[in-house]
Structure 1
Amino acid sequence: MAEIRGNAASVTFENVTKTYPGANTPAVDDISLAIEAGKLVTLLGPSGCGKTTTLRMIAGLEMPSSGRILIGGNDVTRLPATDRDVSMVFQSYALFPHMTVMENVSYGLRFSGHDKKEAASRARAGLDLVGLTDFGARLPSELSGGQQQRVAVARALVLEPQVLLFDEPLSNLDAKLRRHVREEIREIQTKLGLTVVYVTHDQEEALAVSDRIIVMNKAVVAQDGTPRELYDAPANAFVADFIGEANILDCEVVAVQGDEATVRLGTLALKLPARGHQAGPAKLAVRPSRIEIGPAGAPQTIAGTLAKVTYAGSHLELVVATALGDVFVLSRNVDAPFQAGDAVGIGFPERGPVLIKA
C-alpha cells in the first residue's frame, strides 16, 4: 500500500494587504509573518479580524491587494489555487454526498491525473491514517460528524500538500468530540511533519494544538508567539483577555532599573519585568488562577470583600470587590469555607501579574 509522506514548506507574508472592492477598511492590513516548515501555526481572533481572509490568500482563493506571499521560498502571490501545492479542510467538510468515503478521498488524486490503482492505494493509506480503514464503502450520510471530519482530513492528506489549511475545522462538533478530533489532527501533523495553518476563534483549541499562535485583531497581528508566551506574557489588554481570562488592573510604575520595574498596585509594591515600560501610570494583567486568596489582613495582600462565590466542580469562581475594582479569582480549594460577604485578602505571586500595553 502507498504511504502518505510529509512535503512541508514554509509560508511567508511580506507586507500583505487585502481590501475588498467597496470596503472602507482593509480585511488584512499590511501583515508580515513567517510560518516555519513542519509546524502547526494557528491564526486566532474574533470574527472579522482577518484570519480567514489570510488563510484564503495562502490557498489562492483570494488575491492580495499588495504585498507578497511565498510558499517554500517561491513567490505564489498571483498563482491561482490550482497551481499551489496546498490543501484545505473546510468548516463544512464539503464531502460529495453521492460518493462513498473511498471515492471522496480519492477524488482529488483522480482529478490531478493519478491512475485508478495508485489513487485507491493512497486513499486506503489516508483512511488508515485517520482510523477509518473499514469505512471506505459508506456514504457521508452514514457517518458521524467526527468521522466526516476525518474523511475531509484524509482527502486533504493524500494529496501530500506542502501546506495543509484548516478553516474552523471543529466548529460543527460537540465539546467532547472537538477535543478528540483536535488531538488526532495534532498527532497526524506531528507524525508526518506537516506544515499546518489552522484558523479558529476558540482560544482553548488554539492553546491545545499549536506550535505557535498568531493573534489577529482588526486586520493586523496583535501578537505572535508560542502558546505559553501568549498566556504568560500577553503584549496588550486585547491578547490578555482573548487568550484566557485576565483581570486588567490599573497600576503605577514607580521606577525602572534595567529590565526590572517597581510597580505600585493599590497598597502593594511589586517587582516585575519592565517589558519596555517607563515610570508612570500603567496596566497589568493577571490570570484568575494566579491570584491567591486568604484571610483578611494577611501580609502582602489587598483587602477585599467576597461579592460572589460559585462552585464549578473542579474549582471555585470568586468575585472580590476591592479598591482596585472587582477582581475575578479561581481557587482550586473547593472545600474552602468561602461565603459571599466574607472579608478576604488577595495576593499576587511572583509569576502572577504582567505589565502590558494599554
Structure 2
Amino acid sequence: MTDTKIGSKAAPVRFENVSKVFGKDVVAVDNINLNVEAGKLVTLLGPSGCGKTTTLRMIAGLEMASSGKILIGDRDVTKLPATDRDVSMVFQSYALFPHMSVLENVMYGLTFSGFAKEEARSRALNGLELVGLQGFDSRLPSELSGGQQQRVAVARALVLEPQVLLFDEPLSNLDAKLRRQVREDIRAIQQDLGLTVVYVTHDQEEALAVSDEIVVMRNAAIAQMGTPRQLYDAPNDRFVADFIGEANLLECQIVEINGDAATIEIEGYRHTLPRRGLSEGAATIAVRPSRLVIGSHQGIPATVAKATYVGVRMEYTLTGEFGQVFAVHDDVDAPLDPGTEIKMGFADKGPVLLPG
C-alpha cells in the first residue's frame, strides 16, 4: 500500500451561484452558494424534492450544472465527468455485486482504476480493517447483515482515497437500532481519517447526530446553514424550526425591547429572550417540547388532552387558547391525567423568536 494516508487528500468543495434546470423549466437547484471545508462532514437536509440529491449528484459529476461553478480544492470541475473528479459515492442501495466476495467488492474500484492485483488486495484489506470487517473478506454480501453490507460499501469508497466522499441516504434501508450504530460508525471513520464528507438525508435526528454543519434545503434553495446546535436553538423561520426536530409554534406579542433582549407576552404570561432583530408587535416563537415547563406557578392556562408513557419520559398534548402543543416531562412516576388543568411556562433557555 502507498504511504498516502486515507483522508490526507481531503479537499474543500465550493458552489458559486450553481443552478440545475431539467428540461425547459423544472428548477431542481436554484442559484446556491455553498462552502464545505476540508475534513468536515456537511449534511444536506430537507424534504423530498428540495434539491439535496441533485446537489450531491452535481458534486459527483452524475449531473452537470446548468450554470455557476463547482470547485473541488482549487480545481474547477464544473464540466468534468464523474471519472475525472476524484470523489467516491456510497449509494442508498449499497450497489454490491452479489456474486463477488466482500474482498472482491472492495477491490473492484481499485482494479478498475488500474491498480495491480496485489496492491488492490492490500488496500482492500486495509479498508475492511478501517470499517471493522477484518476476517469477513471471503463472505458473500448475502451472508452479511444490512449494517455490514453498508460498511462494505463505505470501505469500497474509502480505498479509492477520494478528495471528497459522498453519501446518498446511506441508512434508509436499515432498522432504527442499526441506523444509530452505523451512523456512529460513519461519523467515527470520518473524524478519525479527516475526510471531507457531503451527506444527504431527510432524517433530522440523523443530521443532528453526524454533522459538523447542516444545510437545510427547501424548494431548490438553501433555507439556512449552520452547526446542529445553531439550527436547533436559533432557526431562522417556521420551516427550519419545524423541520429540525419538533417545535411548537406559538403566536405572541413583543411588548418591550431592551437592547438585544425582547419581552414577549402570551395570555398575560411574560418571558424575556433574544430579540433577533425584531421590534415590538406581533411575532412567532418556536418552543421545543423539552423546554416547556409543565405545572409552573405562573404561566399560560392549559389542559392535558393526552398523556403517553414511553418509558424514559411522559409525552403530553396540551391545549388552550393558544391552540395545541406537544410537551415532554421526565417525571414518569407521577403522570398527569388527561383533563388536568395546569399552567404552562418556558424554561430560561426556552423559546426563540423567529425572524422570518
Structure 1 partner of 2:220: 219
TM alignment of 1:33-52, pairs within 5 A: 33-52=34-53
Structure 2 segments unaligned to the other structure (5+ residues)? none
Give the match for residue 100 of structure 1.
Answer: 101
Letter in 1 for 2:119: E
**Counterpart in the other structure of 1:252:** 253
**Aligned mates of 1:337, 1:289 — CA distance in 2:** 16
SS in structure 1 opposite 2:135? helix
| Counterpart residue identity of residue 19, structure 1 | V
**TM-score, with length taken from structure 2:** 0.97
AA at the equivalent of 2:67: S
How far 1:254 moved relative to its partner?
A: 2.2
- Counterpart for residue 336 of structure 1: 334
**Matching of residue 75 in structure 1 with residue 76 in structure 2:** yes
Aligned-pair distance for 1:253? 1.7
Alignment partner, residue 15 of structure 1: 17
2:6 is aligned to: 5
Q: Which residue identity lines up with residue 157 of structure 2 in the other structure?
A: A
Tell me the CA shift for residue 264 of structure 1. Answer: 1.8
Residues 229-259 of structure 1, C-alpha deviations (whole Å, 9 max, x = no match): 1111111111111111110000112233332
Amino acid at match of 1:38: G
The answer (yes or no) to whether the contact 1:251–1:281 under 8 Å persists in 2 is yes
CA distance in 2: counterparts of 1:15 and 1:259, whole angstroms: 33
By how many angstroms is 1:112 displaced?
1.0
1:78-157 alignment runs, 5 A limit: 78-157=79-158
Cα contact 1:63–1:77 (8 A) shared by 2: yes
Do 1:315 and 1:332's aligned partners in 2 also have CA atoms closer than 8 Å?
A: yes
Question: Taking every aligned residue pair, what percent have the same amino acid on both sides?
Answer: 66
Alignment of 1:283-294 (within 5 A): 283-294=284-295
Instruction: Give the aligned length.
Output: 354
Matches within 5 A, 1:232-251: 232-251=233-252
Structure 2: distance between partners of 1:28 and 1:88: 20
Q: Give the distance between the partners of 1:337 and 1:13, measured in 2 at CA.
A: 51
Q: CA deviation at 1:132?
A: 1.1
Give the Cα separation in 2 of the matches to 1:2 and 1:10.
Answer: 23
| SS of the residue 2:179 aligns to | helix
Q: Is the 8 A contact 1:2 1:121 kept in 2?
A: no
The equivalences for 1:144-293 within 5 A come to: 144-293=145-294
Separation (CA, whole Å) in 2 of partners of 1:266 and 1:11: 49
CA RMSD, Structure 1 to Structure 2 (Å): 1.3
User: In the alignment, is the contact (CA less than 8 A) between 1:170 and 1:182 conserved in 2?
Assistant: yes
Q: State how far apart, in whole Å, the 2-side matches of 1:114 and 1:337 are.
A: 64
Residue of structure 2 in register with 1:308 after alignment: 306
Give distance in 2, aligned partners of 1:142 and 1:319.
45
Q: Deviations over 1:104-154 (max 9, x none)?
A: 101111111111111110000001111111111111122111111111000
The one-letter amino acid of 2:286's match is A
Partner of 2:322: 324
Alignment gaps of 5+ in structure 1: none
Give the whole-Å Cα distance in 1 for the aligned partners of 2:314 and 2:264. 29
Name the SS for the 1:107 alignment partner: helix
Q: Distance in 1 between matches of 2:339 and 2:191?
A: 50
Counterparts of 2:255 and 2:161, CA distance in 1: 56
> TM-score, structure 1 length as denominator?
0.96
Contact 1:261-1:272 at 8 Å conserved across structures: yes
Give secondary structure in 2 for the equivalent of 1:249: strand
Q: Deviations along 1:134-189, whole A, 9 cap, x unmatched? A: 11111112211111111100000000000000000000011111111111111110
